[in-house]
Amino acid sequence: MTNTIFDHGDPNWDKIVNQKLIDLSAATKDTGWVDLNLLNGFSNLNSTKTQIRMIGHTCYLKVEMNSLTTDTVAFVVPTTFKPVPIQAIGRTTGGYAFPVTLQQSGEFQVESSKEWKTQPTDYLKALLIWNN
């Protein structure tokens, strides 16, 4: 946001103020945590949930799930959160690294891991953050 200097005597000074207030409101808007619907047999990890939140122009995606299946879409991020392509590594049971991919379409896919094979009690945790 840039600073705009104006004189109250200038014509249309109120339009400048109103636009700055709109910009400030957009920069500080908070959706709160929104639960995501898990697909393809994935489930939330105990009492924690896979959720997303947008504060201003920054999105926070908190992944906490089990009943893992590799090479499968786990959920879809709503387009209102403006997903961007991200490839990341999540932490799994025993601290193994596990690749995940968020597509611009919003699909979140759990990829294959050569060092780790899924078990029924395994879980995946990750935090992805992006600006839109």
Query: Is 28 inside any structural domain?
Result: no
Let me know the angle formed at the C-alpha of 129 by 127 and 132, rounded to the nearest 5 degrees: 155
Q: Name the domain count of the chain.
A: 1
pTM value?
A: 0.75
Q: What is residue 22's DSSP assignment? A: H
Ranges of the chain whose pLDDT falls below 70: 1-11, 13-14, 16-18, 21, 24-27, 113-121
Domain region containing 72: 34-131
18-32 confidence digits (pLDDT tens): 677 677 666 678 899
Query: Is 60 inside any structural domain?
Result: yes
Question: Where do the DSSP E strands lie in 14-122?
Answer: 34-35, 43-44, 51-55, 58-66, 72-76, 86-92, 97-102, 107-110
Query: Is 98 inside any structural domain?
Result: yes
Query: Is 65 inside any structural domain?
Result: yes
- CATH code of 82's domain: 2.60.40.2460
Q: What pLDDT is recorded for position 26?
A: 64
Q: What pLDDT is recorded for position 2?
A: 60
